[in-house]
Amino acid sequence: MTYCEDESVVLEVRTRMEGDKIDDNGDNSKGDYVDLRDENGAGERCNHCGGCWGFGGSVFWYWVKLAVTFTFLGLLAAACVKWVSPFVMDKEIIPIINWETTTFSTPVLVLLLFASVALFPTLLLPSSPSMWVAGMTFGYGFGFLIIITAVAVGVSLPYFIGSLFLS
């Protein structure tokens, strides 16, 4: 088939994929769609979810298993938030915060908090305890200024480190 475009003839080239069924007019009967089933209508075994496309029940059990798994994970997360988090907070986080505030003087604590908020995320360590110390020790205003400037340095530091390896 040809058609004219601005006084020039453009040829339409048809390509054919293996297994395409072409009707009497020369057109592909399915258009741009590819049939993933074999001639009998049964599907191939799906390795991703363990089910067969030919049977609707296996897809149902896949979603049931998925829902049960996520329900179990949600209950496990709720149990951790309710019982494990307060224990870790009382035994680990609060003693560290108290030690930091009593051991270091105010200027040294500012530098320590700035460095920890800026560097810890680069090293994949949490910096939220340092943010808590800054907020509790220096208040909302000055603590916010310490945290926001340290975070600005902390987010640009991995960028500059990564740009060193760019070739």
Domain boundaries, the chain: 104-167
Confidence of residue 51 (pLDDT cuts 50, 70, 90): very low
Q: How far is CA 98 from the centre of its chain?
A: 35
The pTM (predicted TM-score) of the whole model is 0.50
Q: pLDDT at residue 156 above 60? A: yes
What does the chain come to in residues?
A: 167
Query: What integer is the mean pLDDT of 129-144?
Result: 90
Amino acid at 10: V
